[in-house]
Structure 1
Amino acid sequence: MTVEQPTGTGSATGLRERKKQRTHAALLRTALELFTTQGYEQTTVDEIADAVEVSQRTFFRYFASKEDAAFAVQQMVERHFVAALRDRPATEGPFDALRNSVLEAWDTIGEAITEVVPVEVYLRMLQVIESTPPLLAVHLRRSFEMEEYIARLIAEREGLDVDTDPRPRVAVAAFSGVMRVTGQLWVQGRETTLEAMRALTADYLDHIGPALAGDWRETAAQAARTGTEGTDAG
């Protein structure tokens, strides 16, 4: 006996999901446009919701707060980078993995950003974050938390204890410093394309690469062998 399956259920679910995605994108795009044209602190949740013709309650279904919306694209970029880092081959040295991950992320994140907002709006939002004290404080806290997360991820990759071996945190601190500098230069510069950001990042990272690149495990093994040979000779 053939049992007939209900029709239209999957289609209806797909339509609901697409509608949710459209609403989320519209709220985020509107929020960033308002933040960058009239100021973060001057913009209210009601204004964002009214512009999209939804209720305040609907806004809070998608974002916990205005702050959540302000950092939404940045969070997307960070997740993209972390995913790329996790996928790097184990044969790469730690700093090479960081460098290649961020360049790969810049190669592929552009489409995801532009699906939400034009790159110039993303740029202006970075300027708003740096010029708005409450957002800057959150940005610095989030940066510290991300650095610690990445340092632990690098330590895990290398089979190290991040609390006894300083190298993961040192490498990530150097990497993050470059990212902050290049980010500020990109925002302030004339070339505001993602390709320009990628090229600037690569150029700056290449200046510190020789100091941090290489296979740390092999270096440690060589040091151990040298120490053993010295003991034997004595």
Structure 2
Amino acid sequence: MDTLGTTGAGPRPGLRERKKQRTRDALLRAAVELFTTRGYDRTTVDEIAAAVDVSQRTFFRHFSGKEEAALALEAMTVAHFVEMVRARPAHEPPMAALSRAVLDGWDRISEVIEAVAPVEVYVRMYRVIESTPVLLAAHLRRSAETEEQIARLIAEREGLDVDTDPRPRVAVAVFSGVLRVTERLWGAQPDAGLEAMRALTSAYLDQVGPALAGDWRSR
């Protein structure tokens, strides 16, 4: 696609957006590198901006603060997961749709992470979040919000009222619980890569009982 104007008026928005995205990615990469080597509390916004040779003002154009930068990789993967759930075939039972979304979309999620930071940095950042109270609290709050979003999405797929039928929230709570268990096990392995995480997730999801894995519409 042609991204340059022919009238001398300068670049079209497509080029500007790509430049903004490159700056954001560079800031995010610098932030997680500093958080994982120096610690979250000992890293300042000025240091993150200086690592990319931009101003503090530029940092705040992309992130509201250190907390958002620290959780940005996770937020990116969650956003892709939600879209993958939304794209699952309508005939799939709820738990199957959730499981296939995360497992079939694993390569895409891996690409999202690795486009910004190496996997080993992502693993270290996960440990920083788990060991930093303010980040862990924010992570848990965001996880609860995501669970509610997905529960409502599942209810919509199944033609249910999420506020009167408990199954969407129960299913999402079980699914999220499995992911939290596998994340912690994976994060405890010093040399674990994303493929090891996928295998662990798949093995644990296989343990979810048929009551939640079945087709609700046939009941």
Task: Bin the TM-score by the shorter chain.
Answer: over 0.9
Output the CA distance in 1 between the equivalents of 2:109 and 2:103: 10
1:155 corresponds to which residue?
155
Residue 125 of structure 1 corresponds to 125
1:58-113 Cα shifts (integer Å, max 9, x gaps): 10011111111011110110011111100111110011001101112212211121
Counterpart amino acid of residue 27 in structure 1: L
Q: Deviations over 1:14-45 (max 9, x none)?
A: 44333222211111000000000111111100
TM-score normalised by length of structure 2:
0.93
State which drifts further: 107-116 or 76-85. Answer: 107-116
Counterparts of 1:8 and 1:130 in 2: how far apart (Å)?
51
Letter in 2 for 1:153: L
* 1:93 equivalenced with 2:93 (yes/no): yes
Q: CA deviation at 1:12?
A: 5.5
Question: Root-mean-square deviation (CA), in Å?
Answer: 1.6
Preserved contact between residue 49 and residue 59 of structure 1 (Cα < 8 Å):
yes
* Equivalences for residues 23-102 of structure 1 within 5 A: 23-102=23-102
Secondary structure at 1:97's aligned position in 2? Answer: helix
Is the deviation greater in 83-92 or in 104-113?
104-113
Aligned residue number for residue 198 of structure 1 = 198
Over the matched positions of the two proteins, sequence identity in percent amounts to: 67
Q: CA deviation at 1:9?
A: 5.0
Q: Which runs of 5+ in 1 are unaligned?
A: 220-234
Please state how far the C-alpha of 1:50 moved relative to its aligned partner. 1.1
Q: Is this contact kept in 2: 1:95–1:209, CA < 8 A?
A: no
Change (3 A) 1:86 1:14: closer
Instruction: Check whether the contact 1:155–1:161 (CA below 8 A) recurs between aligned residues.
Output: yes
For residues 174 and 203 of structure 1, what CA distance do their matches in structure 2 show?
Answer: 15
Aligned length: 215
* Max Rg structure: 1
Contact 1:154-1:168 within 8 A present in 2 as well = yes
d(CA) in 2 for partners of 1:79, 1:19: 21
Structure-1 separation of matches of 2:77 and 2:209: 23
Q: Distance in 2 between matches of 1:87 and 1:18?
A: 26
Q: Quote how far apart the aligned CAs of 1:211 are.
A: 3.3
For structure 2, the residue ranges without an aligned partner over 5 or more in a row are: none
What residue identity is the alignment partner of 2:88? R
Aligned position for 1:180: 180
Query: Relative to structure 1, is the Cα distance of residues 212 and 54 closer, same or farther in structure 2, using a 3 angstrom cutoff?
Result: same
Deviation at 1:194, TM superposition (A): 1.4
Structure 1 stretch displaced more, 97-106 or 17-26: 17-26
The 3 A distance-change label for structure 1 pair 170 and 13 is closer
TM-score, normalising length: structure 1: 0.87
Is 2:158 the counterpart of 1:139?
no
Deviation of 1:117 (Å): 0.2
Q: Check the 8 A contact 1:123/1:187 in 2, yes or no.
A: yes
8 Å contact kept, 1:182–1:200: yes
Distance in 1 (CA, whole Å) between partners of 2:32 and 2:129 is: 11
Match of 1:25, as an amino acid?
A: D
Looking at structure 2, the residues matched to 81 and 116 of structure 1 have their Cα atoms a distance apart, in angstroms, of: 17
Give the secondary-structure state (helix, strand or coil) at the position aligned to 1:207. Answer: coil
